[in-house]
Every structure is written in structure tokens, then in C-alpha cells.
């Protein structure tokens, strides 16, 4: 049987360069073709606005941009076209996402007195506007709409602009409409790809409405969307971005006692996302590795998106290590978007993990549960971003600022200290401003 992921990599036999190569992301993610293509779209949209967005949408998606108002009738029609179990599942997922993000919304600190009469605290405020990119195309990811729009709503963002690619028939999937309603959105724009990010960046006017530029861009996407967000944030005065959130990633650490059927199923659950997705299996057990590779073949036989999964598996990795502890070290170097710990006493190994977007602990914590309904957002950093960034939370849609209050007595005590330090730095105006507060 031809193995889908090729040779097993022996981690201990690799030098530093070999280890970097073993953990490299697919080259397709950074091809010059993508970079140049996105730049061309941005140049056109910056110059031509909505007309340019329309041209690119027709060329790439076969449909012009549309604004779908989330009215009571539109929502009722969408609900009626879905099985009751589907609408019930969407409602439960939305409730769980809302519960988690309401519970974790930052609410600032109490006043902290560092010196008598010198008090400071941290307060949080929502950003003014957010552009929410929801992947679609081959699979309408209405779950991503919930995972973005609900945390933004809980944070208090006044203007949320959601965009998603049109389906093949040019209409939104009814589940996308229901998800938008559950998230409290008033509209959904059918625009995809880099042209959607350009519209959110520069603004665009269409026959049925206007998209104003947003303050910050959010959401996962393919290599084109990820590159578009990168270029948008590099523009003078351009929007901020949440994180590098490109094609999906999953690293599974599985020991000799893990269930090969479950491990293979989890790897395929991410491989079917996108040909550029990457899955990595790390284990100390050759027997487990062989069993998982065999299971991948068996499960692929009945997978509807098998062709996509096979393409992703061609960029997959299988790495054999000496121990679970070493597997955790490998994972930290890779910094996966998703990490599954399918090992004995999995909870204790969480302490070893320093870089991952989300960690799924034990055999029952399927990454799929987190994708849809557990509560935390599934919008997570990819391409190693987890080394320094976390996933979407309500804080992602907010800014913090310090507030300082000083009494006359506090100023008298602290101003001489500040003035002394200012003069040591050669900043006399700073020192004089402090002197005025101390009565000198």
C-alpha cells in the first residue's frame, strides 16, 4: 500500500536544518503568484472601488457582490429550509460561544495605588468597526461566522461587517443566514477572496449598499485571503489584523495507547478543509504510526472530500520521537493552530505546551467539537503565529488603556522622582512639567 504521507521522519537523526525543514509549512502558502495577484487586486480596488470589486468577483467567483439583509422574513425562510435538528444545533453552538465569551470578556482592573495619592487602572473599550471574513466556496463555514460575530458583539463593537464567498448558485447557504441571525447581524455581504479584504480595507460602494473601511480585519481563509490581510495591514493607515489565519493545521501527539482510528479521523478532519492544510502526526510508537497510516487509507475511501484531503496529506508529516515529552518539544517548535494530545495522562502534558492556538486534551476532546460548539473561538493563529499570538477572544475586539489619577499630595511625592529621571535623559521640558506639579 502506498503511504499517503510518505516516509516517517526520525526526529533524533535530524540536524537543526533538517528539523526546520521537517516542520516547514507548505510552499504554496507563500508563492510569488499569490503575493503578486493580491497586490494587483488591491491596486485595482483602491483605484476603482466597488466597480473593481465587482469585476474581480465576477472573474473569480462568477457572481457580483450582494448585500443580504437579515430580516425576519429572510431568517424565517432560511430556518424553514433547514431540518429542525440543524437549526437547533446552530442555536446551541451560538449559546455556547456567547456563554464562553461573556464569561471571559475583560472588564478592567481596580484602582491600584503605587504611591499614596497615585492611582492607576486599566479600562477596556470596544474597537469601532470590525471586518469579519467567513470562508465559503467549497464549504460554507457558517461556524466561523458564529466564532467571529458573537465575540465581536459581546465586546460591544458598533459596526460589524461580515463577508463570505457566494456559493456556486450565487446565493447564501441558509445555515449562514441563520448563523448571522443568531449572531445579531443586520446584513451579510456575499463577496469572497482578496477582493473582499480589499473592499473592507478601502471601502466600496455597490448598487445595494456601501462597505465603509473597517478598523480591524478578522477571520481565517486560504492563502489569498491570508496574504490580503497581510498586505492590508502593511498599508499606511491600513486596518489592523487579528493574526495570520491561513489554511488549517493540526498536530496530533499520540502514544502507543492511542486509538489509531480516532487519530486518523482527526487528521482527516483538518486535511479535508483545503489542499493547503497541513496535518502532522508525532509519536514514539512505530506501531501506532503504522496503524494510523493504514487507517487514513481506509477512511479516505468513503470521504466525500477525499481529493482535497489527499492533496493536503501530501504536505503532511509523520515524525517519530523518543517520548511524549520530546513530542511536546516538537509541537512547540511547530506551534500548531490545533494540537491534539491523545496520550495517557494527557492533562499533565498541557504544562509542557508553550505554543498552540488551541489544545484538545484526551481522546474525547475532538478538535471538531472545538470547531463547532464547545465555546472558544476556532479562529486561531496559523503558520507559527501561536508562538506569540492567541486565538480570537472578546479582547481581540477591544483595546485597553491605562487611566491615571494623581492627587496634590501624590504629585508632591512623585514629581521630583519623575523630574530627576527626565533630566538624566536630557529632557528638560519633561522635568519642568513635573516640577510644576510639585510646587517647585
The closest alpha carbon to 227, from 86, 383, 419, 413, belongs to 383
Pairing of strands 278-283, 398-406: unpaired
Quote the cell numbers at residue 255: 502514544
Q: Of 173, 338, 349, 378, which residue is the catalytic one?
A: 338
| Residue 338 annotated as catalytic | yes
| Residue 349 annotated as catalytic | no
Distance CA(130)–CA(128), nearest Å, equals 7
* Total Cβ atoms within 10 A of residue 214: 24
Phi (first) and psi of residue 339, to 5 degrees: -130, 125
Could you give the angle at which helices 174-182 and 84-103 cross, rounded to 10 degrees?
30
Q: Of 337, 349, 367, 378, which residue is the catalytic one?
A: 337
Q: How far is CA 41 from CA 38, 197, 198, in A?
A: 5, 10, 7
CA Rg value for the chain: 25
Distance CA(101)–CA(207), nearest Å, equals 36
Q: Are 434 and 418 in contact (CB under 8 A)?
A: yes
Distance CA(365)–CA(340), nearest Å, equals 8
Please name every residue paired with 148 in a beta bridge, in sequence order, or none if there are none: none
The closest alpha carbon to 222, from 54, 38, 22, 24, belongs to 38
329: burial class by Cβ within 10 Å (0-12, 13-18, 19+)? Answer: middle
Tally of CA atoms within 13 A in the half-sphere of 431 that contains its CB: 11
- Positions marked active-site: 337-338
Amino acid at each position: 500500500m502506498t503511504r499517503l504521507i510518505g516516509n516517517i521522519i526520525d526526529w533524533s537523526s535530524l540536524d537543526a536544518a533538517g528539523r526546520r525543514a521537517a516542520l516547514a509549512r507548505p510552499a504554496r502558502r507563500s508563492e510569488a503568484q499569490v503575493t503578486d495577484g493580491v497586490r494587483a487586486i488591491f491596486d485595482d480596488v483602491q483605484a476603482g472601488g466597488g466597480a473593481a470589486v465587482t469585476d474581480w468577483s465576477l472573474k473569480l467567483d462568477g457572481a457580483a457582490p450582494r448585500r443580504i439583509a437579515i430580516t425576519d422574513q429572510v431568517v424565517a425562510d432560511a430556518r424553514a429550509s433547514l431540518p429542525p435538528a440543524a437549526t437547533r444545533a446552530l442555536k446551541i453552538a451560538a449559546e455556547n460561544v456567547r456563554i464562553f465569551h461573556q464569561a471571559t470578556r475583560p472588564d478592567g482592573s481596580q484602582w491600584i495605588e503605587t504611591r499614596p495619592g497615585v492611582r492607576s487602572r486599566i479600562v477596556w473599550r470596544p474597537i469601532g468597526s470590525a471586518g469579519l471574513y467567513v470562508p465559503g466556496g467549497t464549504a460554507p463555514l457558517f461556524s466561523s461566522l458564529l466564532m467571529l460575530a458573537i465575540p465581536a458583539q459581546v465586546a460591544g463593537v458598533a459596526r460589524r461587517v461580515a463577508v463570505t464567498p457566494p456559493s456556486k448558485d450565487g446565493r447564501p447557504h441558509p445555515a449562514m443566514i441563520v448563523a448571522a441571525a443568531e449572531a445579531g447581524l443586520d446584513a451579510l455581504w456575499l463577496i469572497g477572496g482578496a477582493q473582499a479584504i480589499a473592499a473592507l480595507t478601502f471601502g466600496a460602494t455597490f448598487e445595494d449598499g456601501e462597505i465603509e473601511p473597517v478598523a480591524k480585519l478578522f477571520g481565517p481563509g486560504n492563502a489569498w485571503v491570508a496574504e490580503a490581510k497581510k498586505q492590508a495591514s502593511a498599508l499606511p493607515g491600513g486596518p489592523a489584523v487579528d493574526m495570520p489565519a491561513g489554511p488549517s493545521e493540526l498536530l496530533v501527539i499520540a502514544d502507543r495507547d492511542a486509538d489509531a482510528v480516532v487519530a486518523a479521523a482527526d487528521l482527516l478532519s483538518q486535511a479535508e478543509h483545503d489542499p493547503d492544510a497541513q496535518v502532522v502526526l508525532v509519536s514514539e510508537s512505530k506501531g501506532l504510526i503504522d496503524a494510523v497510516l493504514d487507517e487514513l487509507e481506509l477512511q479516505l475511501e468513503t470521504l466525500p472530500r477525499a481529493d482535497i484531503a489527499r492533496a493536503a496529506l501530501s504536505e503532511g508529516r509523520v515524525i517519530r520521537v523518543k517520548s511524549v515529552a520530546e513530542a511536546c518539544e516538537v509541537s512547540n517548535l511547530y506551534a500548531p493552530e490545533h494540537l491534539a494530545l491523545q496520550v495517557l495522562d494527557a492533562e499533565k502534558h498541557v504544562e509542557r505546551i508553550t505554543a498552540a492556538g488551541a489544545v484538545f486534551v484526551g481522546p474525547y476532546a475532538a478538535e471538531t467539537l472545538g470547531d463547532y460548539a464547545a465555546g472558544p473561538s476556532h479562529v486561531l493563529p496559523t503558520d507559527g503565529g501561536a508562538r506569540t499570538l492567541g486565538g480570537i477572544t472578546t479582547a481581540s475586539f477591544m483595546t485597553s488603556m491605562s487611566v491615571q489619577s494623581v492627587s496634590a499630595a501624590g504629585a508632591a511625592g512623585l514629581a521630583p522622582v519623575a523630574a530627576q529621571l527626565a533630566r538624566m535623559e536630557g529632557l528638560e521640558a519633561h522635568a519642568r512639567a513635573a516640577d510644576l506639579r510639585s510646587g517647585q
